[in-house]
Amino acid sequence: MQNAREISKLVYGNIDTWNAFKFLSKPNGGIDYVFVNKHPKIIVDKFATITDSYDMKYPSDHFPVMATLTILK
C-alpha cells in the first residue's frame, strides 16, 4: 500500500490534519491518510486536506482528506 498524498498528481492543502478544535492555532500532525494499492492501473489524480470552517469552528478535530482516483481498465 502507498500513501495517496505522496503519489498524487495534484495536492491541495497542508499535510497537517489534526486541529484539536483550535481555530486560531496551526494544525499539528498529519494523522489521517488514504492508502491505495500499488497496482499500476490505480492513479491518484488529486489529494486534498479540506480545512473549511463555519463561524470560526471546525466540524471535527480532524480535517477530512479526499482523494480522486482513476482506475484503468
What count of residues does the chain have?
73
Give CA 14 to chain center in angstroms. 8
Strands 65-71 and 42-49: antiparallel
For the entire predicted model, the pTM comes to 0.90
Per-residue pLDDT of the chain (73 residues; tens, 9 = 90+): 999 999 999 999 999 999 999 999 999 889 999 999 999 999 999 999 999 999 999 999 999 999 999 999 9
